[in-house]
Chains A and B, each alone.
Chain A
């Protein structure tokens, strides 16, 4: 399944399928991005990061793709599991300090 964070804030996928969560960021000068997972009532948890000098980075079951031309990030989750159900946010560092600014977010629901 695939979502566009700003227009489709919810995404439902079958367990075992791959998920793609998209994020449009705002500042072309941003040089560092992080994907976070937030479960209900908790703070965000780091998933994976990527610097602007890269266009792809892989972790365990997750891959982040960065397209600087269109200011777009995506998070791919392979073999989605029920424990992946959460809200996912991209956050950008605008290269003006240590602050991170969060995107809209996408709520992922995994159907067993």
Chain B
């Protein structure tokens, strides 16, 4: 089945620094990937849709200059949290769609726990 890998699985960074999170589709190509954020005991909130070779589409209220998304290849999307602050601490999860599996092909990564100190 389709596998999506996220790296790192957890990261601690100092306030004001930037952190990059990678999302890879391991055995399929994904023209579209999705980035979600999840706070403790809350639901997943869609942040943006990452499109290979073009600009990401951000959901309302998500700052595109703070959460930079790059989807430079069919198997890799990156999310960079710029000038991170403690309120950015969260669980970031990506998903990608394997079109070979039709509508069921949305697979999630294992998430990245970001802690900003």
How far is the CB of A42 from the nearest CB of chain B, in Å? 6
B49 to A41, Cβ gap below 8 A? no
A-B contact pairs, 23 of them (CB 8 A): A41-B91, A42-B110, A43-B4, A43-B95, A43-B108, A43-B110, A43-B111, A45-B108, A46-B104, A51-B103, A89-B43, A89-B44, A97-B49, A98-B34, A98-B97, A99-B34, A99-B49, A100-B34, A100-B95, A102-B43, A102-B46, A103-B43, A107-B41
Is A81 an interface position by the 8 A CB rule?
no
Judge whether A105 and B43 touch: CB under 8 Å: yes
Distance of A21 Cα from B4 Cα, bound (Å)? 27
Known: A43-B108, A43-B110, A43-B111. A100 touches B43 (CB 8 A): no
Give the interface of B toward A (CB within 8 A). 4, 6, 32, 34, 36, 41-46, 49, 91, 93, 95, 97, 103-104, 106-111, 113
**A102 x B44 contact (CB < 8 A):** yes
Measured in the bound complex, the distance between the Cα atoms of B109 and A42 in whole Å is 8
A98–B102 Cα distance when bound, in Å, is 11
Smallest distance from the beta carbon of B34 to chain A beta carbons, Å?
6
- Give the contacting residue for A100; candidates B6, B41, B46; CB below 8 A: B46
How far is B36's CA from A36's CA once the two chains are assembled, in angstroms?
14
